[in-house]
Amino acid sequence: MNLDFTLRSEIQKAIDALFRQPVGQLQIQPTNAEFEGSHTLVCFPLVKISKRAPEATATALGEYLVANSGLVSRFNVVKGFLNMVIEDRAWIQVLQAIHANPSFGFVPPHGRELMVEYSSPNTNKPLHLGHLRNNFLGYSVAEIYKALGYTVHKVQIINDRGIHICKSMAAWQAYGNGVTPETSGLKGDKLVGRYYVEFDKHYRAQVKELMAQGVAETEAEKQAPIMKAAVDLLQKWEAKDPDVLALWQKMNGWVYAGFEATYQRMGVDFDKLYFESETYLSGKDEVLKGVENGTFIKKEDGSVWVDLTADGLDQKVLLRSDGTSVYMTQDIGTAILRFRDFPKIEGQVYTVGNEQEYHFKVLFLILKKLGFAFAEKCYHLSYGMVDLPTGKMKSREGTVVDADDLMEEMVEEATQQTHALGKVAEMTPNEIRELTEMIGLGALKFFLLKVDPQKRMLFDPNESIQLQGHTGPFIQYTHARIRSILRKAAALGVDVSTWEGTATSPLEPAEREVIFKLNQYPQKIHEAAREYSPAVVANYAFELAKGYNQFYQTVPIFQESDAAKLQLRVVLSHAVADVLKKALRLLGMQVPERM
């Protein structure tokens, strides 16, 4: 039974019978917690056709629904709001429909396609806390759209060229003494990141030394020997010097191996990789076409610009006077290339920090001016910075929170807490490791995803790992508790597979509340997709788990002597466990059978 659809249909019938006029979209919302009911109809928009005051309109509709619908048992009116109490047998039918549908909440594949970009790191340093939020957001949005029947292409563009990687290369050449990941025992991304930090340390010292000799600061920054070495490497790379290309490929290879290990532990994946070294020139031809058709302006020095002042923005350079591309040029070409690679995609979602909001406004507007209709379907999934109790992160100084280290710390903390609670006495070491990995990474993912993406957030590792509160482990523990209940029920011979929705009215208030929350799951997935916000799913899962725990504490399950009621409560528990597992899977989280 689709309760929301049926209720809307019954309200429409009531409006037709009472007012004899059609009405547009009905405004139905969850009832305020201080009033009785589950669904509230906003009646203010109906006064034009009812020719009555809002309260009188709501009362007339409520009386009609109670007398004729068989769905609404009673109602109350607060000003122009009609709060409706749904019949228990309707709630039981809702639970029956959920229980009978293994794919509850999911939409069958329909052929529509979407692309989601996330991660997109530089190859001069390992992934850090900010990358964790980025990856978890992008991956979760992709999973949410997959749940709605989309074919989703998960991609990233790897920033594998430019002065940043040349800085690591120069420092490794100068101070590395041939060290490799194998000889150092370090992951490749960490080794390359170490030399990025080394570059900055020696660069600062060299600039300071030159300034002490009387060289102006701006000139010292150019003349520092290690900077000149990095610039020389970049020029040789662009000239395709074979030795420089070999070094670049070797060090980037180290980084890719390190990234892959980190991605595997994160639980994220990609369908296709794009490399900046292969795409950075791809937009140049498109820009030159734009000059020919008058979309862009070529100035006397040979540089190419787009004038967006009429659109409330500014002028933006697309090609320098020497003909070289800028980042915007590359992003233009990459966007077009992706639509050619995947011609069926309806749009691209770019998971990138909010410091790039202006960049994407300009990018999408340029694509539109170039005549690409897909520009209207591009979306910047902007997210805020992640702060720590100790302050901001700085890559060049080596003070970032390393993603690998943070994940390991979370698992270690989960291990300590699990042992302290005495929950692993009967588990093997492998089972303990699997459980604590699940809890530690689940805590991390949930904490980073429960906040609206656009908001800046403070990550507190200690708070995130707690079994009580607005945390991932709380939801995981709820699932484990339910699985324990289901095992006990099976041992007692309670078979949920035979349940056919036998009426057990009256329902307890806590039972109604849990069924109401279960019924919200499909619309929460749609809401999360519409807003590109996994926080909607995360907070829904928390509310469902909290509602179930209230039910568990107030309604006896195994003390119930009525076999039909006992079976219903076990079915209800089974449905909650199933939906929690599905919801957390959309966040990239796993749930334990025991905890």
Percent of the chain with pLDDT over 70: 98
Residue 275 structure tokens: 């490399």
Identity of the residue numbered 388:
L
Give the three-class secondary structure for 542: helix
Residue 397: predicted pLDDT: 45
Beta bridge partners of 275: 158
Distance CA 328, CA 361 (A): 11
441-499: pLDDT as tens digits = 999 999 999 999 999 999 988 899 999 999 999 999 999 999 999 999 999 999 998 89
Kindly indicate the confidence band of residue 539, based on its pLDDT and cuts at 50, 70 and 90.
Answer: very high
166, 237 Cβ separation under 8 angstroms: yes
Query: Which range, of 183-187, 454-458, 484-488, 536-540, averages the lowest pLDDT?
Result: 454-458
**How far apart are the C-alpha atoms of 376 and 497, rounded to whole Å?**
48
Specify the 3-state DSSP secondary structure of 305.
strand
Structure tokens at 133: 């939020």
pLDDT at residue 155 tops 80: yes
Please give the pLDDT value at position 263: 98
| SS3 at position 233 | helix
Per-residue pLDDT at 255: 97
Least confident segment among 62-66, 69-73, 222-226, 388-392? 388-392
**Cβ partners under 8 Å of residue 557, min gap 6:** 485, 489, 566, 569, 570, 573
For 72, the 3-state DSSP assignment is strand
Query: What pLDDT is attached to residue 498?
Result: 87
pTM for the predicted model, two decimal places: 0.93
Whether 158 shows a pLDDT value over 50: the answer reads yes
Helix (H) or strand (E) holding 387: strand 386-387
- CA nearest neighbour of 568 among 520, 523, 517, 510: 510
pLDDT at 399: 55
Domains by residue range for the chain, with CATH: 3-86 (3.30.1360.70), 162-277 (no CATH), 403-586 (1.10.730.10)
The predicted structure's pLDDT at residue 281: 83
Q: What is the CA radius of gyration of the chain?
A: 29
Name the pLDDT band for 419 (thresholds 50, 70, 90): confident
User: Is 505's pLDDT higher than 80?
Assistant: no
Q: Which two three-digit tokens encode residue 174?
A: 């100068």
User: Cα–Cα distance between 48 and 21 in angstroms, integer?
Assistant: 10
pLDDT (0 to 100) of residue 396: 43
Amino acid 393: pLDDT:
37
Q: What is the pLDDT of residues 238-276, one digit of tens each?
A: 999 999 999 999 999 999 999 999 999 999 999 999 999
**DSSP letter at 385?**
P
Q: How far is CA 240 from the centre of its chain?
A: 39
Q: Of the candidates 136, 119, 89, which has an alpha carbon nearest to the alpha carbon of residue 587?
A: 136
**Three-state SS for 294?**
coil
What is the number of helices (H) and of strands (E) in the chain? 23, 14
The pLDDT of 356-384, averaged and rounded, is 95
Q: Is the pLDDT of residue 394 over 50?
A: no
What pLDDT shows up at residue 259?
97
Which structure tokens are listed for 102?
């293994």
> Closest by alpha carbon to 520, among 546, 544, 551?
544
Under DSSP, the state recorded for 571 is: H
283 CB neighbour count, 10 Å cutoff = 27
Phi/psi for 28 (5° steps) reads -120, 130
pLDDT digits (tens, 9 = 90+) for 316-342: 999 999 888 888 999 999 999 999 999
Please tell me the predicted confidence (pLDDT) of residue 422. Answer: 78
Beta bridge partner(s), residue 391: 388
Q: How confident is the model at residue 572 (pLDDT cuts 50, 70, 90)?
A: very high
Phi/psi at 430 (5° precision): -65, -40
Q: Angle between the 509-519 and 534-554 helix axes, to the nearest 10 degrees?
A: 160
pLDDT surpassing 50 at residue 392: no
Phi, psi angles (nearest 5°) of residue 474: -60, -45
In 3D, which of 447, 412, 446 has the Cα closest to residue 432?
Answer: 412
More confident residue, 394 or 534: 534
How far lies 157's CA from each of 76, 161, 234, 272, 455, in Å?
A: 56, 11, 20, 9, 24
Using DSSP bridges, classify how beta strands 72-78 and 297-298 pair: parallel, antiparallel or unpaired.
unpaired
Please check the confidence at residue 504 and state whether its pLDDT lies above 90. Answer: no
**DSSP letters spanning 458-517:** E--HHHHT-SSSSSHHHHHHHHHHHHHHHHHHHHTT--GGG------PSPPHHHHHHHHH
Q: Which residues contact 247 (CB under 8 A, 6 or more apart)?
A: 169, 173
Q: How confident is the model at residue 388 (pLDDT cuts 50, 70, 90)?
A: confident
Q: What is the DSSP string of 167-210?
A: HHHHHHHHH-TT--HHHH---HHHHHHHHHHHHHHHHHHHHHHH
59's tokens: 């009362």
Amino acid at 101: N
Q: What's the mean per-residue pLDDT of the chain? A: 94
In angstroms, how far is the first alpha carbon of the chain from the final one? 34
pLDDT at 390: 66
